[in-house]
Amino acid sequence: MEEKFQRGKEKILNKLDLPSDISLDLPKIIVIGNREITIENHKGIIFFETNMVKINSRVGAIIISGENFEILFIAETSITISGLFKGISYEKE
């Protein structure tokens, strides 16, 4: 039932031409080269080490792999991480 409601909400937002990342609380990932990543609309850090970061989001965990990770900025719904990134993947809930 929840999934059907979500699809209906997405259709309405598409017709109104509203940004889905804000309206649906979806994560927005901004990657600058392989050196900096900003994730907006996150739900907190699950795991952080210098070679792997796991960030919680509405669509499941976002896993970032690489090396020399540092948090440059963190706020309630936004985080910026620097390092050498090798991959980004999603883990289903």
How far is the C-alpha of 42 from the C-alpha of 25, rounded, in Å? Answer: 9
pTM of this structure: 0.75
Phi, psi angle pair for 15, to nearest 5°: -65, -35
**What is the set of domains in the chain, with CATH numbers?**
26-91 (2.60.40.2000)
Tracing tokens 């901004």 back to the chain, one arrives at 30
3-state secondary structure string across 34-45: CCEEEEECCCCE
Residue pLDDT, tens place only, 8-58:
666 665 666 655 555 567 899 999 999 999 999 999 999 999 999 999 998
